[in-house]
Structure 1
Amino acid sequence: MNVNATGFMLQTMFFLVNHNATDLMQTVFNDPTPESIDSNEIKCYGAYGCFPIKYPWTSENRAHSVFPFPPGILDIKFATFTEKNRKIPKMLDLNDPFTILRAGINSTHPIFFITHGFLEYGGAPWLKKLTEELLTYDKYATVIVIDWKSGSSPPYYQAVANIRLVGAIVAHMIFSIYEELKLENLDKFHLIGHSLGAHMSGYAGHYLQRDFQLRLGRITGMDPASPYFAGTEEVVRLDPSDAKFVDIIHSDASMFVEGGFGIKQNIGHIDFYPNGGDNQPKCATSLNMACDHVHSVELFTESINSKCPFMAITCDSYESFKKGKCSQCNRNGNYCFQFGFHSHQSYKNHFNQGRALPSSSLSTFFMTSPKEPFCKAHFKVTVKVTENDESRMHGGEVGFLYLKLKNSRKENAKFLVNQQSVHFGPGMNFTFLAIGDYIEDIKSALVDFKHKSTANPLTWRVFTPKVYLEYILIESMEHPSSGVLKLCPNHGHAILSGDAVNFVSSQKNWTKEVYVPNICVCGTATNCEIASTGGIADGSGGINPRIVATGDTNYYSGSLTESCQPVSTGLPIAASNQSSCSKGLDRCCQPLGYSCGLRYPPVANAPKPTLGSGQADYGGYPWHAIINGPNNTFIASGVLIDQKHVLTVAHRIYNLNMTTVEVRLGVYNRFSNSSDPFPTLIYNATYVIHPSFTAKNLKYNVAILTLSGSVPLGKYPTVANVCMPNTTLSNITCWVSGFGFPDQFTQTMVKTISEIDVPLVDTATCQRQLIATKLLGQDFILDPKHFICAGGQLQKDACFGDGGSPLVCHVYDRFYLAGLVAWGLGCGNFSVPGVYVNVQSFIPWIQQTIIAETPTTKAKPTTTSTIGNTTISTVAATKVNSTKSTTPKPTIKAAVKVTNKKSTTTRKWKNPA
């Protein structure tokens, strides 16, 4: 990226800002010092409002405040770029609404406003590069470059004043677009500003709320300026109230007297501090003093289309982060977010997965490469030096470790482990946080040692320097579900300097397939030690040796310090109490934090599925929900998406002639659960149907149920929420769980939850195969916004009674919700896929509905129900219709031949469940 022009201007800016106003006017610009202004004065600019300069605009941290230049002098320009006009923009004019209509703005896709800072202009190279990247990401998007160069000239305090009026004018332009294009809200508007441009974007968001009662979707501040803004009131600077989502990048947050120009304090919903927020690696040898300040732009621009995750994690400080104290995503109060352009979706994913984020601003940290591409993956590396006789006799070495990680796909990632030289002495442990190329499914590593010789004669070597390593532990921050990988040398020899040795995994980690948040398993009695004094579990029913202590002496755990040796390849058995464990095994607990979309190990004393019946394992689909009417009358299936909400299909509940329903979670057998190890949870639920639901064609076929209480996620292995998708999945085999018809001869639903595996089918193939049945007509079009397809294999399909059942896909060790059973042309016919609601398309509506849900009727009184030996709070649910529209009841006349999972029956078309 070419930043030379920006660097020159910003160097001048530093000079200007570090001098008082009078000196600048006399020695640089030779302009008269501004006349004294009464701090109580206010200057008004017509429709744009009035601008006072008294407190808080003049304060201890903003000693000098002046009025903005008039709009005519500012001469703000709005250059509009789209896919059709990437090079030559169309200009918008506030006084001519037709310029908006002729600009080619696609209101169904993002509308970006990007802007510069002090001493810059709208044609800056970085603005052109950013525009290109945004249009490459979404060719239907619109990018509007705000050029306010006439107001960005010295002195600095005048430019600071000018952005107040620039922000007001931008707000009026956004409102004009909103009116001319007849938009419902500003959710697709994203303002991106650098330095002073970041605060100007905040002003625009503020004025939109004050003058038009509209709220921007998002503001991104790229290293917002510090002078005249740090320590001021929120109205003076960018703050989280200026948009629904505000993300901040701090790249030059050193003290101003040390040359830093960016603000250090948290001012967004998420504040990203790459490399601690200052002293960027790229700029370590640069003579350009603005390098750190501009680096925020480079990082954000790269993040738009990068395949690298650009992962950041919350931590109490950058120092703690570098020590590896915050390397586990979404555990121990540390949350991971994608940095930059995709941070908003990452933020929403936490919400989708049922996590309650802190209400205060989140400080996140990550490390970058000194050269492009800047994005790297983070690895926590723990090194244990051998303490045998040979190692002790040698005495250790000073130097650097290098790792070259490898996986089964022959991919590799090489990186330096320790940035500073370390003395690797016998028996010593070291933990480092290192960065390297992104890699998954690590199998082995080449470990290399480089000796560092110094002026100290004691470091000189006659023979080749070497180190003795017992093992290396590796944790990937970007791929937390892989757990802790333990690598050991495949021989007992030392690592000679310059001669890499292969380290391989010596154990299997069941946490890659199953997960036990706050649940206990049965482990070997002799090796499952109390608290933190644990040892390796290598016997039958062995526990994962990477389990750490809980701090509770009643709990047991494994240890990280055992020597390398094989462990049991079998899965551990979940234990609700000590009596669940066989003789010779103890109850050992896994104290990791809860996460969505993860199955549990097999549960001790659980019901066993009948072989060949298609029944699922007990607790195999902990997100599956049942919606019942009076007397346990089945209505539909659904899926738990967070602690308070279940998602289902609208066509099963939109025409209910009853006022009460119930939601059940953790159900294995619909009629008999008194002997189950864990209870069925029963809740009431108000529900909202999508306002655009159409029964005739089953479009917008979704509904949200709000439970009467919060689900205790992580308490029972039979109840968990599924992960919500952030993209439409494809080319993968997924699973459907449900209680639908088993075959044509049994015209009743099954008692025990069943499962089938079905491959996803692309839209074109699905449409062609459905038309080939001659039941839909040649003009039938399958809308991919509303539907996805899966199946088409003989005797493998959802059927009547499965409506609302979740279609889940296993991606990166978690289960993500791809669809809900919607309709089909038969059950299990060859080359006739089933049709499912495309859940990913409705994520925005789901989020908005959950945030803004306002039930129009009160819930029914609570009763109790005894399930097994546990009494669960139970209350009937009340139907809540959307206030936006009503849907007529359909008349479905067409009936077609329908094939069940194993045979055939007859049912109405598009009413499969």
Structure 2
Amino acid sequence: MLPRGLLGLLGLLMLCKGEEESGPGESCDNFTDLTLSHCFIGTSLYVRLLLYTRSNLDCGREIGHHHLSAQPLLNLSLPTAFVIHGYRPTGAPPIWINHIVHLLAAQEDLNIIVVDWNRGAANLNYFTAVSYTREAAHNLTGFIRTMQEEGASLSSVHLIGVSLGAHLAGFIGANLKGQIGRITGLDPAGPMFTSATPEERLDPSDAMFVDVLHTDMNSFGLRGAHGHIDFYANGGADQPGCPKTIFAGKSYFVCDHQRSVFLYLCALNRTCSLTGYPCSSYSDFLDGRCLQCEAFKPASCPVLGYDVGQWREALLGLGQTRVFFSTTASLPYRKLSYRVDMVTWNQYLRWGVVYIRLHGGGNFTEARIDHKRLRFEQYTATRLLAQFDDDLSHIQKISMRINTGNVIGPRYKIRLLRIRFTPLEHPDRPLMCRFDVMMEENTEVAFRPLPCDSRL
């Protein structure tokens, strides 16, 4: 069963073709395709390296581990990205390999080497696959050292590891004394690594720059921070749109974990602009306490993806940074975020959750700020983070409701002396304000926003 959102992703990445293409007389080297019977029997480690460049994007070429200068397609003066998959319990090739190859090639001219260790990763016994990661790392370390001897720079090497492949990448980096340019870990595997020391898993010392994306920390992913920057999608655990019960079958087990790959693919495709906000916790982020990125100025807040140049140096100076963001359940995943600042003036203390709708062009989008009950009292400033699934660029009307859960008593008034909406991802858009709005609890009120330098 395919995870939700996958069909949309396959349709979105138009550059990625579903079948291998080759010219007359050419044969392509494909990723090892095994069956469930191989996994029952067990496989022994065998590492293959499939090279893709802009001249052979649809036809991989297996390259040997020695005499690299004799490989006609391998240009050691270019950057090289290694794509390293994780545990393969069914033996089937990862469905995302062709997509990531095309999207990486669109970033810049580089060598893309898909590390095929399916023979080794394909075992019903997960612990066997874990035991092979050190051996595979030793194999790849030798290959990268050969690259260096023949003219490649270690600083131009980028390892992209998925799940168990993230730790494998970390072992390679550690073998090379942290001189690898970059490691990207996509939801590093948690089982067998929960209590591991930094030497036994991916950690920031494994490369000159390590970025990590977390999507399933409460199951197959690894908790904590393991890079110079760690991105936590929706807090790093349960992802929107993924099944909540075991009755969904396979998708219940893999959806959250696989979401890291789909978010990264979307970020590479630049369809998603997933901005991370430095914060100590996801709860503080949702409370609107962490919506500034002063440490990165004049650059913007960190954005998930390939290009890290504008804020990399700032991150290296900060040590380890945790950043949080929320997503929608499906493509393009990006939410539209506003910082909402209110000053309330009400006679009686009220507790409640807030619903905000933006209206424009005959459509509306709603944000529910209901992760906890908020306190509204006399002459108190309150800051909220409102996140909307849809981007309405021209807002004609805003409606709000403060739901206190009061169903039997009198409805109290809540007066907003001032409310201001600040778009976070679109600093070019104007701030929207409104002054002196009278609300009644549990009742929606609508108003037309004004420029913040205007008053009624």
Work out the CA distance in 1 between the residues paired with 2:118 and 2:236. Answer: 28
Q: CA deviation at 1:137?
A: 3.0
1:458 is aligned to: 408
For residues 28-427 of structure 1, the aligned pairs below 5 Å read 73-95=44-66, 97=68, 101-102=71-72, 104-119=73-88, 123-138=93-108, 140-152=109-121, 153-180=123-150, 182-183=151-152, 185-209=153-177, 215-254=179-218, 260-283=219-242, 285=244, 287=248, 288-306=252-270, 308-330=272-294, 337-342=301-306, 344-348=308-312, 350=314, 357-359=317-319, 361-387=320-346, 400-404=354-358, 414-419=365-370, 427=378
The one-character-per-residue Cα deviations of 1:553-597 (angstroms, maximum 9, x if unpaired) are xxxxxxxxxxx68xxxxxxxxxxxxxxxxxxxxxxxxxxxxxxxx
Give 3-state SS (helix, strand or coil) of 1:114's partner.
strand
1:446 is aligned to: 397
- The 1:433–1:469 alpha-carbon spacing in structure 2 relative to 1, beyond 3 Å, is same
Q: CA deviation at 1:142?
A: 2.6
Q: CA deviation at 1:220?
A: 0.5
- Are 1:171 and 1:204, in contact at CA under 8 Å, matched by a contact in 2? yes
- Are 2:240 and 2:327, in contact at CA under 8 Å, matched by a contact in 1? yes
Work out the CA distance in 2 between the residues paired with 1:198 and 1:128. Answer: 19
Instruction: Confirm or deny that 1:469 pairs with 2:394.
Output: no
More helix by share: 2
Q: Which amino acid is 2:326 matched to?
A: M
Q: CA deviation at 1:164?
A: 0.4
2:26 is aligned to: none
Give 3-state SS (helix, strand or coil) of 1:85's partner.
coil
Work out the CA distance in 1 between the residues paired with 2:274 and 2:40. Answer: 44
Give 3-state SS (helix, strand or coil) of 1:401's partner.
strand
2:384 is aligned to: 432
Structure number with bigger Rg? 1
Work out the CA distance in 2 between the residues paired with 1:304 and 1:194. Answer: 15
Q: Which amino acid is 1:155 matched to?
A: N
Work out the CA distance in 2 between the residues paired with 1:363 and 1:242. Answer: 18
RMSD of aligned alpha carbons: 4.1
Q: CA deviation at 1:222?
A: 0.8
Identical aligned pairs, as a percentage? 26
Q: Which amino acid is 2:115 matched to?
A: I
- The 1:171–1:273 alpha-carbon spacing in structure 2 relative to 1, beyond 3 Å, is same
1:501 is aligned to: 447
The one-character-per-residue Cα deviations of 1:108-167 (angstroms, maximum 9, x if unpaired) are 5432111211125583112222222222333x3332111111111132222111010101
The one-character-per-residue Cα deviations of 1:710-758 (angstroms, maximum 9, x if unpaired) are xxxxxxxxxxxxxxxxxxxxxxxxxxxxxxxxxxxxxxxxxxxxxxxxx
- Are 1:312 and 1:337, in contact at CA under 8 Å, matched by a contact in 2? yes
Work out the CA distance in 1 between the residues paired with 2:211 and 2:329. Answer: 23
- The 1:30–1:208 alpha-carbon spacing in structure 2 relative to 1, beyond 3 Å, is closer
Work out the CA distance in 1 between the residues paired with 2:238 and 2:449. Answer: 35
Work out the CA distance in 2 between the residues paired with 1:189 and 1:369. Answer: 32
Q: Which amino acid is 1:488 matched to?
A: R
Give 3-state SS (helix, strand or coil) of 2:181's partner.
strand
- Are 1:304 and 1:341, in contact at CA under 8 Å, matched by a contact in 2? yes
Number of residue pairs matched? 413
- The 1:403–1:494 alpha-carbon spacing in structure 2 relative to 1, beyond 3 Å, is same
Q: CA deviation at 1:467?
A: 6.5
- Are 2:155 and 2:182, in contact at CA under 8 Å, matched by a contact in 1? yes
For structure 2, the 5+ residue unaligned runs are 7-38
Q: Name the TM-score, length of structure 1 as normaliser.
A: 0.40
The one of the two structures with greater contact order (alpha-carbon pairs below 8 A, sep at least 6) is 2
Work out the CA distance in 2 between the residues paired with 1:460 and 1:109. Answer: 71
- The 1:284–1:345 alpha-carbon spacing in structure 2 relative to 1, beyond 3 Å, is farther
